Chain A
Amino acid sequence: MSGADLLFYAFAAAALLGAVLVVALRNPMYGAISLLGTFLAVAALFLLRHAEFLAIVQIFVYGGGIMVLFLFVIMLVNLHRLRETTKYDRQTPLAAVLGLVLVALFVTVFALASFGPPLARPEAFTAGAQGISGNSQAVAWLLYRDYLLPFEIASIFLLIAMIGAVVLGRRA
């Protein structure tokens, strides 16, 4: 086993642990911390797959942005001190069933599908303008050239979300 594989298994385990803890822990504060852990693990997994830019973005946006947001709200609402009556609700069994169905589905697909060798052309991940190379540049080239419209729309979307959040957060 190579070192990359070992790293993969380690970070995968961390991510899974974090995920389970998010769902299982009663106190949302603890859940938020474990979610952060999951994010970081996922970022590492990104790195293992030649998505350097995305890994950093993951840490910045998810860890630095979203999680902070979550923590702010939790603390604002004093959720960590609120007593929760029930953790899981009535439809939990149904949800479990759904999960099992999903498992069955995936097993089926997994059994039938197979994937070829990965990373045929690593240079694709670092392509850019002449001389400049690196994953960020490559992503940037794609983003601002081929996928400009979705990019702009995404920014508008963020604007709308921001306005929405402001409106929702206002005292009536």
Chain B
Amino acid sequence: MTAEVTTNHYLVLSFLLFTIGLFGILARRNLITVLMSIELVLNSVNLNFIAFSYQHSDLTGQVFAVFTITVAAGEAAVGLGILIALFRLRETTQLDSAAELKG
């Protein structure tokens, strides 16, 4: 911990955030929580980009991160729209209530 903060640290953090987010996507039943976990994952990705961009002194990473944020925004909007629609249909946001395609 007394070492200088390097890209490695950022990668570790990013990885941890990613794993936590992934766990949340896969393990939680509430759709809202799943969506929030998705945002978490995307954030970890952004962190990764920034770390490497700083590493290589290349601004491309930051630009890419901009696009990632854009996509995340759009995806959040649509996802929440789906959630509202699902709620209207099922009176709940539990994911296992939307298993119509079973079989």
Contact = CB atoms under 8 A, between A and B. Distances in A.
Instruction: Give the interface size bracket for B toward A.
Output: 35 or more
Chain B, interface SS category = helix
Contacts of B80: 69-70, 73, 165
B73 to A, nearest CB: 6
Interface in B1-59: 1-2, 4-13, 15-24, 26-30, 32-33, 35-37, 39-40, 43, 46-47, 50-51, 53-59
Nearest to A100: B19
B27 A77 contact: no
Contacts of A127: 59
Interface of B: 1-2, 4-13, 15-24, 26-30, 32-33, 35-37, 39-40, 43, 46-47, 50-51, 53-60, 62-63, 65-67, 69-78, 80-85, 87-88, 92-96
Given A115-B8, A142-B59, A169-B84, 5 more contacts: A54-B62, A73-B83, A103-B19, A115-B6, A154-B67
23 contacts: A5-B4, A35-B39, A42-B46, A45-B50, A70-B36, A89-B28, A94-B26, A95-B26, A96-B23, A110-B8, A115-B7, A116-B55, A118-B7, A119-B57, A120-B57, A121-B57, A125-B57, A135-B62, A139-B62, A161-B74, A167-B81, A169-B81, A172-B88
